[in-house]
């Protein structure tokens, strides 16, 4: 590269922004990409593509999946087909020649007198033209017999006048005459055509003594006016069986459907037959999952209390608790007897040794780690042991068994606990029941959260909630009051420019909207003459002096001096309210 065409980058000693602003950190190198000064806008927006050319076999697939801008999408199987070059220049069919247009046929060009004479000369050689020239009737009288009076003689047979079509369709006969005429020959017609009237019995000539003509055979057909039986009649049994049976589909059709149509639960890969990779092959880089989940982040758990990956451990603990619940429910009558069976020393709590001994007796051998985890999950107050309330909630069904304590306990469960403590642990099962049960505990796996509140419960979801007036807003507002509504609105323009009603306005429309008068019409600034005519037309009687006073008061309330219908109405309401309070209004009490 010559020295004239070589591009020099700006020096980093002074910086490319030297003299334009004050550099508060001259010791730090400015971030960003240094561009060469003097480049065109086209070169900046369309940089040079220094990417090496792809191989031909890769370019085949790129032209199918992601072709370049302006290029035709070509299937990779036809990328090297020589017929494509011929097809670009090939045309099919027969070239049609232009014919006369409709205008030329409807309005042909006028003929000259010479051309008309030539056409008449050609037409004169025909015999039909000689006998009946154009515009003259064809005379055929020379073919009639001589002496025939053409004015009086008529050809054909005269037609006798008969009844009309109405008489043939609706003859002037009574119902009895029509029935008598139709009965003539009916017996013979039954024998020849097997034609019977509706509801007519078929006499088969049975001579058996036990046969009675009035007897009916068969089972009566069930009838329902709602048409329920019609569905069973129209749907045959073999069609119902075909719906239950497995439909047989050709393997070729099934393979084509799998290759061309997406199937629920499977990845749609139409080119998997052409790729020489295994069915379990995956592309890309395998991302390692985080050790914490979304619940851990929401509840702010410590790293030692992450629940991600502990699903199997929690499932094993749930199975152990379920087994102990069943054993306690079938072996004891109340919760106190079951608790004392665990607490053999009468300490009032169950430690890990008591829990291990009972598990061995129930043929449930557990590892020491599982016992510690079970004790930790059931210990709600974190005192290292399981008391009576925790045992009733987590290792037994307290709603299905009696508590074993009196409704108003007079003696504590153990000597170390007071009477009030036991009373606090017992609650009534219901409002109308005198039977007591241990209070309910929640197995809280979220140690960082106690009585949490949702954001909807705090922010304007209830009366007196936290105001969000000073909160920072994000995104584009739904009601675009920052831009003006266009004069002509397009059909696909679904923006709300602030001129549309809200949900309350749609559910409860105002009485003015039925007359095509909306809120914006009340707030538009108007002239004094227009406002005076509006209030005069709606029946508000005011003198000129009073209207001037109301108008000036409304103009003072607006910083720009604009007066609208709403501002005039507000001033009138204030005047009437003052008159009512002072007793000057007729409606004042």
C-alpha torsion 515→516→522→523, nearest 10: 170
* Alpha helix stretches (DSSP H) within 332-460: 335-342, 352-361, 368-378, 388-394, 419-425, 455-458
pLDDT at res. 420: 39
pLDDT at 460 over 60: no
Please report, rounded to a whole number, the percentage of residues in the chain having pLDDT higher than 70. Answer: 85
End-to-end CA distance of the chain: 103
Residue 496 main-chain phi, psi, to 5 deg: -105, 110
Distance CA 138, CA 245 (A): 80
pLDDT band at 456 (very low <50, low <70, confident <90, very high): low
Tell me the mean pLDDT in the region 108-112. 86
* Cβ 437 vs Cβ 398: under 8 Å: yes
Residue 351 main-chain phi, psi, to 5 deg: -100, -175
**Distances from the Cα of 257 to the Cα of 75, 129, 245, 251, 269, angstroms:** 19, 73, 21, 10, 12
For the purposes of burial, counting CB atoms within 10 Å of the CB of 254, is it exposed (0-12), middle (13-18) or buried (19 or more)? exposed
Tell me the mean pLDDT in the region 90-103. 81
pLDDT at res. 451: 57
pLDDT band at 20 (very low <50, low <70, confident <90, very high): low
Range in 27-41, 202-216, 380-394 the model is least confident about: 27-41
Residue 426 main-chain phi, psi, to 5 deg: -105, 135
Distance CA 306, CA 292 (A): 6
Report helix, strand or coil for 436.
strand
* Cβ 335 vs Cβ 317: under 8 Å: no
pLDDT at res. 173: 87
Distance CA 201, CA 99 (A): 73
* Cβ 378 vs Cβ 395: under 8 Å: yes
pLDDT at res. 421: 42
Angle between helices 565-582 and 544-557 (to 10 degrees): 110
Range in 314-318, 410-414, 536-540 the model is least confident about: 410-414
Per-residue pLDDT of 258-303, as tens digits, reads: 878 887 877 777 777 777 777 777 778 877 878 888 877 777 777 7
pLDDT at res. 409: 45
DSSP one-letter code for 349? S
Distance of CA 480 to the CA centre of its chain: 26
For residue 413, the tally of other CB atoms under 10 A from its CB is 20
Between 14 and 141, name the one with better pLDDT: 141
Against a cut of 0.85, is the pTM above it?
no
pLDDT at 416 over 50: no
Distance of CA 356 to the CA centre of its chain: 56
pLDDT at 11 over 60: no
Q: Is the dihedral of CA 260, 262, 265, 270 positive or negative?
A: positive
Tell me the mean pLDDT in the region 443-452. 58
For residue 363, the tally of other CB atoms under 10 A from its CB is 8
Full DSSP string of 191-214: HHH----TT---------TT--TT
Average of per-residue pLDDT values in the chain: 78
For the purposes of burial, counting CB atoms within 10 Å of the CB of 324, is it exposed (0-12), middle (13-18) or buried (19 or more)? buried
Between 361 and 433, name the one with better pLDDT: 361
Report helix, strand or coil for 334.
strand
Distance of CA 52 to the CA centre of its chain: 46
pLDDT at 179 over 80: yes
pLDDT at 10 over 60: no
C-alpha torsion 496→498→501→502, nearest 10: 80
Distance CA 519, CA 513 (A): 8
């Amino acid at each position: 590269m010559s020295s004239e065409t070589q591009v020099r980058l700006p020096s980093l000693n002074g910086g490319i922004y030297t003299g334009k602003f004050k550099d508060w950190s001259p010791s730090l190198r400015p971030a960003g990409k240094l561009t060469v000064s003097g480049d065109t806008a086209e070169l900046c927006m369309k940089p040079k593509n220094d990417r090496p050319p792809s191989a031909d076999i890769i370019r085949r697939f790129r032209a199918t999946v992601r072709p370049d801008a302006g290029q035709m999408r070509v299937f990779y199987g036809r990328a090297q087909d020589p017929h494509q070059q011929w097809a670009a220049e090939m045309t099919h069919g027969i070239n049609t020649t232009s014919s006369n247009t409709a205008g030329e046929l409807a309005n042909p060009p006028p003929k000259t007198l010479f051309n008309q004479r030539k056409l008449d000369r050609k037409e004169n050689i025909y015999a039909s033209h000689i006998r009946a020239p154009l515009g003259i009737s064809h005379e055929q009288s020379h073919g009639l017999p001589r002496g025939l009076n053409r004015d009086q003689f008529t050809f054909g047979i005269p037609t006798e006048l008969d009844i009309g079509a109405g008489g043939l369709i609706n003859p002037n006969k009574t119902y009895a005459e029509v029935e008598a005429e139709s009965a003539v020959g009916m017996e013979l017609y039954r024998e020849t055509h097997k034609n019977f009237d509706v509801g007519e019995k078929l006499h088969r000539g049975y001579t058996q003594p036990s046969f009675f003509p009035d007897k009916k055979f068969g089972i009566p057909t069930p009838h329902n006016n709602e048409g329920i039986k019609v569905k069973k009649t129209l749907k045959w049994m073999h069609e119902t069986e075909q719906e239950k049976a497995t439909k047989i589909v050709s393997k070729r059709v099934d393979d084509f459907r799998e290759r061309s149509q997406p199937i629920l639960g499977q990845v749609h890969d139409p080119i998997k037959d052409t790729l020489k990779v295994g069915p379990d092959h995956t592309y890309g880089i395998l991302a390692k999952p985080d050790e914490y989940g979304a619940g851990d982040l929401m509840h702010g758990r410590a790293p030692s209390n992450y629940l991600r990956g502990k699903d199997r451990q929690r499932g094993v603990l749930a199975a152990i608790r379920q087994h102990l619940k069943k054993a306690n429910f079938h072996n004891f009558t109340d919760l106190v007897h079951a608790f004392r069976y665990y607490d053999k020393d009468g300490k009032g709590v169950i430690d890990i040794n008591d829990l291990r001994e009972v598990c061995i007796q129930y043929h449930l051998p557990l590892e020491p780690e599982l016992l510690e985890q079970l004790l930790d999950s059931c210990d709600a107050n974190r005192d290292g042991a399981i008391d009576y309330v925790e045992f009733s909630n987590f290792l037994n069904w307290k709603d299905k068994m009696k508590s074993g304590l009196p409704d108003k306990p007079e003696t504590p469960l153990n000597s170390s606990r007071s009477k009030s403590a036991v009373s606090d642990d017992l609650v009534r099962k219901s409002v109308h029941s005198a039977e007591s049960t241990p209070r309910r505990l929640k197995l809280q796996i979220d140690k960082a959260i106690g009585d949490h509140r949702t954001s909807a419960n705090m922010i304007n979801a209830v009366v007196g909630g936290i105001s969000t007036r000073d909160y920072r807003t994000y995104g584009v507002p739904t009601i675009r009051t920052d831009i003006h509504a266009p004069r002509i609105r397009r059909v696909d323009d679904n923006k709300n420019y602030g001129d549309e009603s809200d949900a309350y306005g749609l559910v409860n429309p105002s009485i003015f909207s039925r007359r095509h008068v909306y809120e914006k019409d009340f707030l538009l600034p108007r002239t004094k003459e227009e406002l005076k005519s509006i209030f005069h037309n709606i029946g508000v009687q005011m003198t000129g002096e009073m209207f001037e006073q109301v108008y000036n008061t409304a103009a003072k309330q607006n910083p720009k001096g604009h007066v609208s219908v709403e501002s005039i109405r507000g001033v009138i309401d204030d005047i009437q309210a003052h008159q009512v309070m002072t007793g000057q209004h007729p409606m004042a009490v």
